Structure 1
Amino acid sequence: MVAKIRTLDERGSGRAEVWRENEQGNQKKIKLTIPQTLPGEEVRVGVGQRAKRRWRTFPEEIITAHEERVEAPCPHFDRCGGCVWQHWQYSGQLKAKTNHVKKAIEAQGFNSDLVSDTIGMDEPWHYRNKMEFTFSPEGELGLHEQGNFRKVISLETCLIAGKEMVEAAMDVAEWAKEYELKGYNKDLHEGLLRHLMVRQSFVTGEMMLGIFATESPDGPLKEAADNLVKRVEEKIPQVKSLLWLENRDWADRTQSENTHLLSGRDFIYDEMDGYRFRLWFDTFFQTNPTQAQKLVDIAVELAKPKETEKMIDLFCGVGTFSLPFASKVGKLAGIEIVESSIESAKRNASDNGISNTTFLAENARTGIDKMLESFGHPELLLLDPPRSGAGGKVMRRIGRAKPERIVYVSCNPDTFATDIKELEPFGYELKTVQPVDLFPQTVHVEVVAELVLREGNN
Structure 2
Amino acid sequence: MTNIKEETLIATIDHLDDRGNGQAVIWRESDRGFNPRKLKLTIPQTLKGESVKVVVDDPDKKRRKVEAGEILVASPERTEAPCPHFELCGGCVWQHWTYEGQLKHKTEQVKNALESEGLDSGLVLDTIGADNPWNYRNKMEFTFSPEGEMGQHEQGNFRKIVPLETCLIAGQNMVDGMLEVGQWVKEFGLKGYNKDKHEGLLRHLMVRESFVTGEMMLALFATQTPDGELAAAVENLVERITKKLPNVKSLLWLVNTDWADRTQSEDTHLLAGRDFIYDEMAGYRYRLWFDTFFQTNPKQAQKLVELALEMGKPKEDEKMIDLFCGVGTFSLPFAARVKELAGIEIVETSIESAKRNAIDNDLHNTIFLARDARNGLAEMQEQFGFADILLIDPPRSGAGGKVMRRIGRSKPKRIVYVSCNPDTFAKDVTELLPFGYVLKTVQPVDLFPHTTHVELVTWLELV
Give the TM-score normalised by the residue count of structure 1.
0.98
1:18 shift after superposition: 1.4
What is the letter of the counterpart of residue 366 of structure 2?
T
The yes-or-no answer on 1:151 pairing with 2:160 is: yes
Segment drifting more, 206-215 vs 45-54: 45-54
8 Å Cα contact 2:221-2:255 kept in structure 1: yes
> Counterpart of 1:46 in 2: which secondary structure?
strand
Question: What is the CA–CA distance in structure 2 between the aligned matches of 1:106 and 1:132, rounded to whole Å?
Answer: 35
1:9 is aligned to: 17
8 Å Cα contact 2:20-2:94 kept in structure 1: yes
1:349 shift after superposition: 0.3
The yes-or-no answer on 1:126 pairing with 2:135 is: yes
Structure 2 unpaired stretches of 5+: 1-8
Question: What is the CA–CA distance in structure 1 between the aligned matches of 2:288 and 2:330, rounded to whole Å?
Answer: 15
The yes-or-no answer on 1:367 pairing with 2:381 is: no
1:49 shift after superposition: 2.3
Question: What is the CA–CA distance in structure 2 between the aligned matches of 1:175 and 1:410, rounded to whole Å?
Answer: 40
> Counterpart of 1:420 in 2: which secondary structure?
helix
What is the letter of the counterpart of residue 7 of structure 1?
H
Question: What is the CA–CA distance in structure 2 between the aligned matches of 1:203 and 1:186, rounded to whole Å?
Answer: 37
1:23 shift after superposition: 8.1
1:94 is aligned to: 103
Aligned length: 454
1:54 shift after superposition: 1.6
Alignment of structure 1 residues 274-313 onto 2, 5 Å:
274-313=283-322
> Counterpart of 1:175 in 2: which secondary structure?
helix
Alignment of structure 1 residues 17-416 onto 2, 5 Å:
17-20=25-28, 27-49=36-58, 52-416=61-425
Question: What is the CA–CA distance in structure 1 between the aligned matches of 2:28 and 2:268, rounded to whole Å?
Answer: 56
Question: What is the CA–CA distance in structure 2 between the aligned matches of 1:215 and 1:434, rounded to whole Å?
Answer: 47
8 Å Cα contact 2:144-2:204 kept in structure 1: yes
CA-atom RMSD in angstroms: 1.1
What is the letter of the counterpart of residue 48 of structure 1?
D
Structure 1 unpaired stretches of 5+: none
8 Å Cα contact 1:22-1:49 kept in structure 2: no
What is the letter of the counterpart of residue 415 of structure 1?
T
Alpha-carbon deviations, 1:410-447, whole Å to 9, x = none? 00000000000110111111011000000001110000
What is the letter of the counterpart of residue 423 of structure 2?
D
Alpha-carbon deviations, 1:41-72, whole Å to 9, x = none? 00011100265322111101111000110000
Give the TM-score normalised by the residue count of structure 2.
0.97
8 Å Cα contact 1:207-1:240 kept in structure 2: yes
> Counterpart of 1:205 in 2: which secondary structure?
coil
> Counterpart of 2:107 in 1: which secondary structure?
helix
Question: What is the CA–CA distance in structure 2 between the aligned matches of 1:444 and 1:268, rounded to whole Å?
Answer: 27
> Counterpart of 1:182 in 2: which secondary structure?
coil
What is the letter of the counterpart of residue 285 of structure 1?
F
1:289 shift after superposition: 0.5
> Counterpart of 2:105 in 1: which secondary structure?
helix
> Counterpart of 1:60 in 2: which secondary structure?
coil
> Counterpart of 1:39 in 2: which secondary structure?
coil
1:25 shift after superposition: 8.3
